[in-house]
Amino acid sequence: MTIRTVCMKLVRSGNYLLPLLLIAASAVYEARAAERGESYSIEIEADYGEDLGQNYGSLFQIVDGQGEVVAGAGFEGVFNTTGRGNRRRLSVFTKPVGDHPEFAIKPLPRSTTDAGVYMFDFRNRLYAQSAGGGEDRTPRYWDGSRWRMDREVIPYSTPVGDKVLSISSPRVLYGGRTILDLSKRRLGIARYYYAGGHLFLRVNGDGVNEIAACPWRPSQREIDYDSAPKIQMRSPREFLYAYGQLGDHVLAATNTGGVYRFDGKNWTCLVEPIMTVSYQVYTMINYYDRLLLGQYPTGELFEYNGKELKHLDGQPPVMPGVSGSAREAQTSAIYGGDLYVGVWPWAELWRLDSDTHKWQLVRRMFTHPEITDKQVHPYEAEAKSLGHVLNRWGHRITGLVPFGGALFLSTSSKGSSPYQQSFGFLNDGERWKDYGRVYEMTLPGQVSLDTAWKGGRNTYRVVVTPTTLTVSQQDGEVRQTKITRGVFDAIKSGTLKPREGIYGAYGGKTLQIRAKTH
């Protein structure tokens, strides 16, 4: 919990003295650290220009004498199966000195009895919601102690300019006002993405199944759907799983393996779907100068370099003791300066160290059943005995969301269908509760805050002392985490490189950074 959050709660309860003392103590600590020459501050002024849906990318990274990254800051550009990550969430991280620490992992209370949830964060709240197969589809947000219903929020809404863009099919809303309505055409709108001044929509119904790139800016009151460049998907059952952007290009990938590219004017098909072969892309994330795509059935990554897709064989690896078949890299995230990928069907969480470029298995997110390579999915025999599809009780990592100082992770079966007592093999030890679970996973030295749109000038401040990392936005949120003396010394002696880093190229107009050792 941040100093600011504590103060706000105390003020609301009528206690005004302690918040003032906390703020004063924090200021005194920073001042004394500066007097001792033990404070390093970074002042950032970023002008993102007109908001056209761009990823803001990396603000800076700090490297040591060997060229290894010791700290960095930026905005994650990610799309995980159901929606785009929070494009306004600023993350600042430090890298550990010495061996990589283990996660502190805490399971949260369940938000639903359905067998799976997906996550998103919006307006400084972390939400969990069942997928389409669930009976309880009400979004709930975590208040720090329990899940609370929110029947007003539209899932996967995204801030654009000073308002919010959202989809309530068959309508597009901006600031709560309808800017496109396809109801008279009997068409539906599914997954969407805003980038490069175009709103990308998958539209289907009445013989239509297409992706449209609708030219639109926040200053426009309506969207002209008819004039939008479109590409027809190759079959009526094809739909979108993920979007991503790299430079001026936007990629859209589907459940049957189609990968379509829009270059700002025209559509092309990079990968033609083959209806008889399973090939699906579930996640896309910007990682340095590339766009990475998580694929099924290899469970590995592909990279897009602006020209073509390349298969990254063995990345991530297969967990020892399980089959290498029918694997799915479903989710990805950047946390603590490293890349994380969640892989079906054994819910493997993998970490790619950005300095050593080596993969490490963080952990398997289920403790049951025992792993085996004699079958592809967990509980195949049990699923067959109940007349279920063979892989119904496989293990998914459906969400990876950096939020505050933690990485939140959610799990699911193949779908979000509710648990029933007849699923006897899951009653032992209440195994069913591991499906649809949310975990809070924490490493030291990571801070994320939800930034507000300030138009042309956005100002952030990072202050590092031998014990703390504090990040703030001018007139906005403040977050703090603990670090070690070794991390502080590495940052203070390192070289700061603006516009570079793990989050990809800086996506704004101008960037000014002033660093100072006190």
pLDDT at residue number 240: 95
Examine the fold and report which residue of 446, 473, 498 is the final residue of a domain before the chain moves on. 446
User: Do residues 144 and 2 share a domain?
Assistant: no
- Asked whether residue 482 is domain-assigned, the answer is no
Mean local confidence (pLDDT), 86-110: 94
Which tokens go with 155? 């899932």
User: Do residues 268 and 411 share a domain?
Assistant: yes
Helix or strand holding residue 487 (H, E): helix 485-493
Mean local confidence (pLDDT), 28-54: 79
Please determine, for residue 25, whether its predicted confidence score (pLDDT) is greater than 70: no
Residues 6+ apart with CB under 8 A from 165: 157, 158, 159, 172, 173, 174, 194, 199
User: Do residues 309 and 412 share a domain?
Assistant: yes
User: Do residues 183 and 287 share a domain?
Assistant: yes
User: Do residues 11 and 131 share a domain?
Assistant: no
| pLDDT tens digits, one per residue of 162-221 | 999 999 999 999 999 999 999 999 999 999 999 999 999 999 998 999 999 999 999 999
Please determine, for residue 26, whether its predicted confidence score (pLDDT) is greater than 80: no
Please determine, for residue 32, whether its predicted confidence score (pLDDT) is greater than 80: no
User: Do residues 258 and 148 share a domain?
Assistant: yes
pLDDT at residue number 278: 80
User: Do residues 135 and 253 share a domain?
Assistant: yes
| pLDDT tens digits, one per residue of 383-403 | 999 999 999 999 999 999 999
Residue 1 pLDDT class (50, 70, 90 cuts): very low
Examine the fold and report which residue of 446, 475, 504 is the final residue of a domain before the chain moves on. 446
Give per-residue burial for 64-88: e unless 16+ CB within 10 Å, then b. Answer: beeeebbbbbbbbbbbbbbbbbbbb
Answer with the residue of higher pLDDT: 369 or 35: 369
Helix or strand holding residue 7 (H, E): helix 3-12
Residue 484, SS3?
A: coil
**Residues pairing with 126 in the sheet:** 121
* Alpha-carbon span 451 to 464, nearest angstrom: 20
* Alpha-carbon span 510 to 54, nearest angstrom: 14
- Asked whether residue 192 is domain-assigned, the answer is yes
In DSSP notation, 21-37 reads HHHHHHHHHHHHHHHTT
Please determine, for residue 20, whether its predicted confidence score (pLDDT) is greater than 60: no
pLDDT at residue number 15: 54
| pLDDT tens digits, one per residue of 408-419 | 999 999 988 888
- Asked whether residue 70 is domain-assigned, the answer is no
Please determine, for residue 327, whether its predicted confidence score (pLDDT) is greater than 80: yes
User: Do residues 108 and 21 share a domain?
Assistant: no
User: Do residues 141 and 3 share a domain?
Assistant: no
pLDDT at residue number 112: 92
Which tokens go with 181? 């309505």
Please determine, for residue 23, whether its predicted confidence score (pLDDT) is greater than 80: no
* HSE-up of residue 356 (Cα within 13 Å, Cβ side): 10
pLDDT at residue number 36: 55
* Alpha-carbon span 222 to 280, nearest angstrom: 33
- Asked whether residue 135 is domain-assigned, the answer is yes
* Alpha-carbon span 405 to 393, nearest angstrom: 31
Helix or strand holding residue 462 (H, E): strand 458-464
pLDDT at residue number 12: 45
- Asked whether residue 69 is domain-assigned, the answer is no
- Asked whether residue 155 is domain-assigned, the answer is yes
Which tokens go with 96? 């550990």
Examine the fold and report which residue of 419, 446, 473 is the final residue of a domain before the chain moves on. 446
User: Do residues 344 and 200 share a domain?
Assistant: yes
Residues 6+ apart with CB under 8 A from 211: 200, 201, 202, 203, 230, 231, 233, 240, 252, 260, 267
In DSSP notation, 378-440 reads TTHHHHHHTT--TTTT-BEEEEEEEETTEEEEEEE-SS-PBP-TT-GGGTGGGGGGGTT-EEE
Residue 77 in contact with residue 114, Cβ under 8 Å?
Answer: no
- Asked whether residue 58 is domain-assigned, the answer is no
Residue 365 sits in a domain whose CATH number is 2.130.10.10
Residues 6+ apart with CB under 8 A from 468: 480, 481, 482, 483
Q: Look at the alpha carbons of 54, 59, 63, 68 in this order and tell me if their dihedral is positive or negative.
A: negative
Which tokens go with 41? 């501050």
Domains contained in the chain, number: 2
Range of the domain at 25: 1-36
- Mean pLDDT, the chain, whole residue set: 92
User: Do residues 359 and 438 share a domain?
Assistant: yes
User: Do residues 128 and 260 share a domain?
Assistant: yes
